[in-house]
Amino acid sequence: MDNANIQGAYLLERMKAVQQKVPELGDVRGRGLMIGLEFVKENKLENPKMRDLV
pLDDT of residue 1: 80
**Which residue blocks in the chain are alpha helix, DSSP H?**
2-21, 48-53
pLDDT of residue 47: 74
* Those residues with Cβ within 8 angstroms of residue 16's Cβ, 6 or more apart along the chain or in another chain: 28
Q: What is the CA radius of gyration of the chain?
A: 12
pLDDT of residue 53: 72
- Name the residue range of residue 28's domain: 2-53
| CA distance from start to end of the chain | 27
pLDDT of residue 13: 95
CATH number, domain at 10? Answer: 3.90.1150.10
Q: Hey, is 21 helix, strand or coil?
A: helix
pLDDT of residue 54: 58
Q: What is the pLDDT along the chain (54 residues), one digit of tens a residue?
A: 899 999 999 999 999 999 999 888 889 999 999 999 988 876 767 777 777 775
pTM above 0.75, yes or no: no
Domain count, the chain: 1
CA 10, CA 46: separation in Å to the nearest integer?
26
